[in-house]
Amino acid sequence: MNSSHIKSADYDENYRTLDVGFHNGRKYRYSGVDREIYERLMSAPSHGKFFRDNIRDRFQCKEL
């Protein structure tokens, strides 16, 4: 990913989970994420802004 904060994003369609890895080494799993959200994240001009505005505080997450 071309982002100053997000290192990686992996989506599991069967479980509707999104794993987001950050350059600081932390990784989080977001639950209940639709594939459309993942696709929009991946195609967003700014991955970090899209994540902040549409994922971070909208889905349940846990640190991995």
Parent domain of 22: 6-63
Q: Which phi-psi region, left, alpha or beta, contains residue 61 (left: φ > 0; alpha: ψ -120 to 50)?
A: beta
Alpha-carbon distance of 20 to 24, in angstroms, equals 12
Q: Is residue 59 part of a domain?
A: yes
Q: Is residue 1 part of a domain?
A: no
Model confidence over 26-38: pLDDT tens digits? Answer: 999 999 999 999 9
pTM for this model (two decimals): 0.93
Q: What angle do CA 43, 6, 28 make, to 5 degrees?
A: 110
Model confidence over 17-64: pLDDT tens digits? Answer: 999 999 999 999 999 999 999 999 999 999 999 999 999 999 999 999
Print the SS3 string covering 26-43.
CEEEEECCCHHHHHHHHH
Q: How many domains does the chain have?
A: 1
